[in-house]
Structure 1
Amino acid sequence: MAERSPIIYLRGYAGPPSGVDRQVDDPFYGLNSGATHIRVGAEGTPRFYQFEGPLLRLMSDEGYQLLVRGDQHAHLQSQADGAVAPESIWVHRFYDYAASTFGTSVTTAPEEFDLEKAAERLYDFVQLVRRKTGAPKVHLVAHSMGGLLARCMIQKVSHTADPRTGEPRRAGSELVDKLFTYGTPHGGIAFDLGGGLVDWAMETFGPKGSDIFAPDRMYAYLTPGASHGDDPPPGWRPNEIPAGTFDARRVFCAVGTNAADYGVVEKAVGPRSDGLVHIDNAYVRNAHRAFIHRSHSGRYGLVNSEEGYQNLRRFLFGSYQVRADLRGLNLPDRTSGASRVWQAEVRLAVRGLPTVMHEQRAAHYCPIQLNQEAVQHGSAEGDTGGVPLATAFLLDPANGRAGREDRPTPRSRYTLVLRVFHLVEKSGRFFWEDHLEQVPDWEDTLIVDVGRRGSYEETGVQAWAAWNSGVPGSIDDTDPIATEPCRMAEDGEGLHTEIPMPEVVHPILGNGSRLRLAVSRFS
């Protein structure tokens, strides 16, 4: 089993001082909250579904511990170096310094919240956790603004000398193994406020709080040497981590797509959001991501969802990474003088889970725009690029914690549902005369089994794949899903194979269209 890393949780923005006081009363800053509602029911009403919360589930699934002992920071400091188990969960309680309810037990007077100061304290806390556990690195798990706090520490604080000693700090890439964010506004938050939304903004952010998410303010706390008021240089984008600072492939962003469950603010941000953060602003460029039909927070929020947790668990502890891309597209462009806009919907499910891991759907305002993506990634016939569909992180079934130990040849299975449809555009407007709403031009499901080649001691992986339309009977009765494994080719990053698209879709996607699967070890 791979070496374990401590997990440090970071909550999101708490709002004005009254909101801070409410949050510090929660022992885990609300990050232990689960859910009892799921939006599934034959009669269209929410049904009971119990998810006990990410912290408790990490304890039961992965054997982690919550070491509080009255005061987690004091308890940690009292331990000998290297004496604390690395399989431990911690909460960076950075808001305690801004609370008015602790008197002088934390500080002489409540501070006005400052993100950079909180990031400096996070750096110190990470170093303390590393020293007491003996772990080389930690995982950071953050909701909303907490992800920006983590990035401030990684991108700026760790590259700035300690003002107390003048000594250089260690680079964030040497301290943090993986960063997972829920609904973090990596690209900022923009509001077009009016009417009662101004009152909502004041209640939620306070008189000055919302500027934390403005791009110019983000530039100051994400860039070494920058100060508040400095203008970002041309081309600077807040959702990019500079090359050499931290590998974006060690970042996973859970993107919420349910704006309706968040309340009045959805009217300010728009439906293509989680209710607070726009979909296009919720991820780091080149990072892994999953689109989840959950809201920013609340009863149907990202953090207290099992969909979010299952992506978190597999990203932190998965053994395999499987990436699916579309290659060789040759899309029909025009019909009867009108342009065709081709879109795809994708849904990713993993065997043994009651929830969908990832879904991009037109109804959620986030389909894959095939025309644009094909141009951007160079996936036209004969090109080497590919339109990204989904990336899955799979637990190794040979690990007892992954379950299903009764299988004689354990394999991880996931399915990728792919729907392709088109809209017709004339004179800049959609043309509906021949349109059939929600009827795809083509739909099928790719079933993929991933496992080891040979004994558990070997590091090689193998994949079996088949389109559901070609599998007779129930797919549960066929394991592996194909008689012969895929023919895998090896490159510098792992193994890959290309699966031809069914002939029935060739008139749409092109005769040379294929789906490329890249399978690699991930740790």
Structure 2
Amino acid sequence: MSYEQDDVRLPIIYVRGFAGGAIEGAIEDPFYGFSTGSVHVRANRRGDPTFHQFESPMLRLMSDMNYEVRVHGDQKRYLDQATDKDIPAATIWIHRFYDVSASSIEDDPEKFSLEQAAINLFGLIKLVRLKTGAPKVFLVAHSMGGLICRCLLQRVIPEADVDEQGGHNPRAGEKYVASLFTYATPHGGIRFAVGGGFLERLRDFTGLFGADVFGPDRMYEYLTPDFQKDQEPRRRFKGTVIPEDGYSVSKIFCLAGSNPGDYKELFGLSSRAVGAKSDGLVQLENAVIEKAHSAIVHRSHSGRYGIVNSEEGYQNLYRFLFGDLQVTLDLINADVGHQDDSDLEFQLDMGLAIRGLPVLVHEQTAAHHCPVLVERLEQGEHPVDHPRPLLTTFLSSKAPRPLDEDGNRVSTLRHVLNLRLMSIREKDDDKTDSDHGESSIDMRDHLEQTADWEDALVVDILPGDGESELPKAWAAWTSTLARPVRLWKPREEGEEALVDVEPDVKDMWVGEVRVPSIARRLLGAKALIRIAVTPRTKDF
């Protein structure tokens, strides 16, 4: 049984998050949490709790993509005893790195080491590749597990990859890992909104339960290989940045959570200490690697409404690993500077719905403290030079498609971008000195939760043949449709496909649609949404 070259399914290795002082409890789960499901969506549109049975990411991968779990008592022993290339590639493995630190398993348990966990992960990857014949693996990680993966990719593998001249390859991780997907990983560390830095210094000084791995000094140690430390001194280190010559950020997807209220660890003290713009433990700005693919969902770090055991999390995971189309939407030519009110600021609420799914796969709203800020340009800047990225998502032409009202399988992939633009007039509060001060909302003409403009952009994509034919796309604002969006059939209604505005761009289709006329008065006369569709081909 050898790896089939046309199969997009690679072995998946799951790496769990931080257990702290609860290692003994963590190792009792044979799948380290990857098999945990849930029966809740946070709320429906009326704000009522809604029943939704999510089996778990592991079971969904088994049912949707025919993955197998081959543990059979002892995962390591099973792999060691298996014949090379005899295990299916479409298998799920668990990196049980905490086992060596558990007294219930080891007579002489080791103190947890993140670097050692990354070294052991490298050993597991090589063993899985050998026994399955797969060229690479997918890494899926929660919280600290993502830092273990980054230590592997940024330090462990590059230090082990030495050529005949003694040189190192910082991108050597790409020989082994096809993609990395992280749930709620503190790529920029964990800091607190209270304490003025004292809590971070106390954590990093004491290293209580190994929690100093979330501090900048330890992160610098395990994310920077020894041969690069002269080039990347500590003072220039930033955890959310992967060096340009390192593992490609295009192969990484970071899923962040915006719901701190449902994170109940430490009696809710963590979410209060971390602050509102977080999942209860990790701030949104620290949960994303710069220039990597990302999405935000209204989920907490873990627990009943946790990000791993959620439909939102799984849909982003599934589409990133197996999607054959990458769709990027940008706001182009936006110029709110033409407004005379210099103290007027704009916030854009945004949600992405995909036909057939019960959840939003991306959601940024002011209510969740993470709207898209449409900032004014500086003096002399031109709108065309400053596109504002809205989102990047992935679609699978092989995903099950619903039936239309006539009982026929729909042919296009449909997603809807819900947009809601709100203006806020701010006033400067009294300043204690010339450089510092805060602003607050000027309530004189403020209408809370009232949008200046809201609409939804419906985008239908017809996948190409994967060879000579590129995808086609149709787009329309719901305010212009003559029938409900559910019943809209662009080709039957005479709507033409969006024109490819950059036909010479290799392997990419690019189309544009202007914002509605009312929005142009706010965003500028030439403001438009640019849609780029890129067929994805595997590079393994």
TM over 0.5: yes
Q: CA deviation at 1:206?
A: 7.0
Residues 240 and 290 in structure 2, CA contact (< 8 A), matched pair in contact too: yes
Change (3 A) 1:41 1:354: closer
User: What residue number does 1:39 align with?
Assistant: 42
Equivalent-residue separation in structure 1 for 2:209 and 2:79 (angstroms)? 34
Q: How does 1:246-261 map to 2 (within 5 A)?
A: 246-261=247-262
Q: Secondary structure at the match of 2:141?
A: strand
Residues 329 and 379 in structure 1, CA contact (< 8 A), matched pair in contact too: no
Q: CA deviation at 1:452?
A: 2.6
Structure 1: state its 5+ residue gaps: none
Between the two proteins, what is the percent identity of the paired residues?
43
Report runs of 4+ in structure 1 exceeding 6 Å deviation. Answer: 166-170
Equivalent-residue separation in structure 1 for 2:423 and 2:529 (angstroms)? 20
User: What residue number does 2:444 align with?
Assistant: 433
Return the match for 2:98 from 92, 95, 98: 95
CA offsets 1:427-471 (integer angstroms, 9 cap, x no match) = 233211101111111111000011134x57755211111111111
Change (3 A) 1:78 1:463: same
Residues 346 and 360 in structure 1, CA contact (< 8 A), matched pair in contact too: yes
How many correspondences in the alignment? Answer: 503
Q: CA deviation at 1:30?
A: 1.4
481-490 or 124-133, larger mean C-alpha shift: 481-490
User: What residue number does 1:470 align with?
Assistant: 480
Equivalent-residue separation in structure 1 for 2:127 and 2:290 (angstroms)? 30
2:511 paired with 1:497: yes
Q: How does 1:372-383 map to 2 (within 5 A)?
A: 380-383=382-385
The residue type equivalent to 2:383 in the other structure is: E
User: What residue number does 2:435 align with?
Assistant: none
User: What residue number does 2:348 align with?
Assistant: 344
Q: CA deviation at 1:325?
A: 0.2
CA offsets 1:221-269 (integer angstroms, 9 cap, x no match) = 00110799x9944332111111122110111111100011112211110
Residues 494 and 520 in structure 1, CA contact (< 8 A), matched pair in contact too: yes
Q: CA deviation at 1:47?
A: 3.2
Q: Secondary structure at the match of 1:118?
A: helix
Equivalent-residue separation in structure 1 for 2:211 and 2:419 (angstroms)? 39
Equivalent-residue separation in structure 1 for 2:381 and 2:290 (angstroms)? 19
Q: CA deviation at 1:162?
A: 8.3
**CA RMSD across the alignment:** 2.9
Change (3 A) 1:332 1:161: closer
Equivalent-residue separation in structure 2 for 1:460 and 1:250 (angstroms)? 22
Residues 219 and 226 in structure 1, CA contact (< 8 A), matched pair in contact too: no
User: What residue number does 1:330 align with?
Assistant: 335
Q: CA deviation at 1:379?
A: 8.7
Change (3 A) 1:186 1:493: farther
2:159 paired with 1:160: yes
Q: CA deviation at 1:77?
A: 1.5
User: What residue number does 1:150 align with?
Assistant: 149
CA offsets 1:346-368 (integer angstroms, 9 cap, x no match) = 10000000011001000101011
Equivalent-residue separation in structure 1 for 2:466 and 2:148 (angstroms)? 40
User: What residue number does 1:511 align with?
Assistant: 525
Change (3 A) 1:41 1:520: closer
The residue type equivalent to 1:329 in the other structure is: A
Q: Secondary structure at the match of 2:336?
A: coil
Change (3 A) 1:193 1:363: closer
The residue type equivalent to 1:351 in the other structure is: R
Q: CA deviation at 1:208?
A: 4.8
Return the match for 2:358 from 334, 354, 360: 354
Equivalent-residue separation in structure 2 for 1:51 and 1:364 (angstroms)? 23
User: What residue number does 2:70 align with?
Assistant: 67
Equivalent-residue separation in structure 1 for 2:335 and 2:317 (angstroms)? 36
Equivalent-residue separation in structure 1 for 2:127 and 2:167 (angstroms)? 17
CA offsets 1:336-394 (integer angstroms, 9 cap, x no match) = 6x51111111100000000110010001010111106x669x994332x4101111100
CA offsets 1:138-164 (integer angstroms, 9 cap, x no match) = 00000000000000000000011389x
Structure 2: state its 5+ residue gaps: 1-5, 429-438
CA offsets 1:303-328 (integer angstroms, 9 cap, x no match) = 00100000000000001011000001
User: What residue number does 1:136 align with?
Assistant: 135
